[in-house]
Amino acid sequence: MLPNQEDPEQLQIRCPACGQRFKVGSDLRDRMVECGSCEHRFRIDDETILRTKKFYPGERRDPRLDRFARVPLAPAMQPNIQTVSYADEPSHESFEPTAPQKTMAAVVGACGMVIATLLLTLGARRNGALDGFDMASRFGLAGFAALICSIMIVYGNPRSRLKALMFTLIASGGLLSLPLFFQEASTPLGSGVLVTREPEGPTEVKDETSDLAKQIGLEPLIKENALLASNGGTSRAFGVWFRQLRVSNKLLVRDYMIRTTGADLSSSIYPRDGEDWLMVLSGVSDKIDGIAEAAVKVGRDRESMRIHADLGVVEVVVDNSLFVEGPPDKLQDKGNPAFYDLNRRELDSIDLERARKAVKRLAEAEPKLYRDDINRRLVQLLKEADPPMLGDICRALMTWSEPDDGKAVAAAVAALQKLDINTTIPPREMVSFLVSRRAVDVAPILDKLWAADPTVWEQLYGELGQPIEPLILDRMEKANSPVKHSAMRLLARVGGKASLSAINAARNGADAEMRVLIERAEAAIRARP
């Protein structure tokens, strides 16, 4: 089928010879024309004119006809049938996923609430993050955190803003109430309170020291002494006013003062103007002179230190260069002339980690220089060191202390007796040092260690010699098999005539190995003069 003629003034013709089609004007009807393709001459009449056959829709199936739009017929409406009515199109936010930035905002807001809660509860104590913050500052912090976190939570919950708002209101109320329940360490910093009330009446600082008291800010010290007095204790609190102490060194100084003075772990350090700090040492049984002797180690010199006995305060100008570690290459090189001097200074450091490294270096060095000074400092460290460091110190004392140095032995015995051997096993180097110096006072402690683990402590226990014989005999009757075997070997080394009866009694029910040990012990004892 050919398409309809677009122009009624033109005719669609076909050459009878070659079949080529052409369009010509209607004025050439019934006239002779020549084919432009094959040059055949023919007349334009009804036989050569091509005509389009008309057809009605549906008579022919042609997929191309589907491209044309069709006008649908309106359905016949039934009077008794009700048409369907649809609701309005819902909002896209109700079914679309929440944007990632909103989800992140809600998570950050909830985490911020939790962090603020922990800060206002755990940080509101001595040496906490909010130590020294007054109540107004704490309420301001709680309000700011509640506002920012609430906005982020509501913004991050677009589908349930009402629920999010209710949650944030409840959480904000709880957050704002925390400063009312956690008021510890809310002393305003830098305030100098000069009057404290006790049962007998007010006690005032002397007039000639009132300006200094204001400058130091003695309120924490006065409150601590009042608290100790109300509890009926015999100890008291002292203050140490550290001048020009850098903030990076304050924790080292605090730990050192607590360690050397025996103060309570709750002792706190408070910032003052500039680089000044006031440390309140609570529960101290020593006098103020003992506090000054400990504080002078961080000062420039003794001349710059002042003791304000009427205030119970020691003033120290801090030498911050003491906190700088020496050159690592010279500290390690035993052939360097400065090796002994630098490590001696490291021993004097209030930083236990630096002192620990110096102890390990000196334990492997020959005692050529500063032997007395280094030995004296090692003995002092026995009172401050933790159990692992005690072993390093005693290993160094094996080299640096004299064989007849009673002070080193006494200090090591005192340090060993402070340890709870039920929970903390003493360092083997510490026990070896005391055994090598024949410290008989260590025998009861070593006896308990040996009874708990004879395979580890038998050798050292036997080196104490004859003083351990009574202790061994006391354990023989109720000891288990490994301890009895070890006891028989020890009696063979250190036993005397008094042990023969106990050895003979052990034959009853003894196994083959025990019988051999008994025979050897008897032979060794009888061979002694």
| pLDDT, tens digit, 9 for 90 and up, residues 10-40 | 888 888 888 888 888 888 888 888 888 888 8
pLDDT at residue 519 is higher than 60: yes
What is the rounded average pLDDT of the residues 413-434?
A: 85
What's the rounded Cα separation, in Å, for the pair 54 and 262? 119
pLDDT at residue 201 is higher than 50: no
Q: What is the CA radius of gyration of the chain?
A: 50
What is the rounded average pLDDT of the residues 407-434?
A: 85
Between 178 and 215, name the one with better pLDDT.
Answer: 178
Question: Which among 416, 409, 344, 343 has a CA at the least distance from the CA of 379?
Answer: 409
pLDDT for 80: 66
pLDDT for 495: 78
% of the chain beyond a pLDDT of 70: 84
pLDDT at residue 208 is higher than 70: no
What is the DSSP secondary structure assignment for residue 10, as one 8-state letter? E
Question: Which among 481, 374, 386 has a CA at the least distance from the CA of 424?
Answer: 386
What is the rounded average pLDDT of the residues 318-322?
A: 83
- Report the SS3 class of residue 22: strand
pLDDT at residue 136 is higher than 80: yes
What is the rounded average pLDDT of the residues 93-118?
A: 83
Residue 194 — very low, low, confident or very high, per pLDDT cuts 50/70/90?
Answer: very low
pLDDT at residue 206 is higher than 80: no
pLDDT at residue 425 is higher than 70: yes
Residue 4 — very low, low, confident or very high, per pLDDT cuts 50/70/90?
Answer: very low
What's the rounded Cα separation, in Å, for the pair 42 and 418? 136
pLDDT for 133: 76
What's the rounded Cα separation, in Å, for the pair 130 and 134? 9
Give every CB contact of residue 78 below 8 A, 6+ residues apart in sequence: none
What is the rounded average pLDDT of the residues 406-430?
A: 85
Of 108-117, 123-132, 263-272, 372-381, minimum mean pLDDT range: 123-132
pLDDT at residue 207 is higher than 80: no
Of 247-256, 324-333, 455-464, minimum mean pLDDT range: 324-333
What's the rounded Cα separation, in Å, for the pair 376 and 367? 13
State phi, psi for 169 to the nearest 5 degrees.
Answer: -65, -45
How many other CB atoms are found less than 10 A from the CB of residue 101? 10
What is the rounded average pLDDT of the residues 225-238?
A: 80
CB 348 within 8 A of CB 323: no
pLDDT for 289: 83
pLDDT for 160: 83
Of 44-58, 213-227, 243-257, 366-380, minimum mean pLDDT range: 44-58
Strand pairing of 277-284 and 268-271?
antiparallel
Residue 95 — very low, low, confident or very high, per pLDDT cuts 50/70/90?
Answer: low
Task: Calculate the average pLDDT of the chain.
Answer: 79
pLDDT at residue 472 is higher than 60: yes
Give every CB contact of residue 282 below 8 A, 6+ residues apart in sequence: 224, 228, 235, 237, 263, 264, 266, 267
Between 272 and 232, name the one with better pLDDT.
Answer: 272
* pLDDT tens profile 284-294: 887 888 888 88
Residue 196 — very low, low, confident or very high, per pLDDT cuts 50/70/90?
Answer: very low
pLDDT at residue 527 is higher than 50: yes
Tokens of 157: 């919950």
Between 434 and 74, name the one with better pLDDT.
Answer: 434
Element (H, E) at 249: none
CB 280 within 8 A of CB 174: no
pLDDT at residue 62 is higher than 80: no
pLDDT at residue 298 is higher than 60: yes
pLDDT at residue 259 is higher than 70: yes
What is the rounded average pLDDT of the residues 478-485?
A: 82
pTM (two decimals): 0.53
Q: Which residues pair with 384 in a beta bridge?
A: none
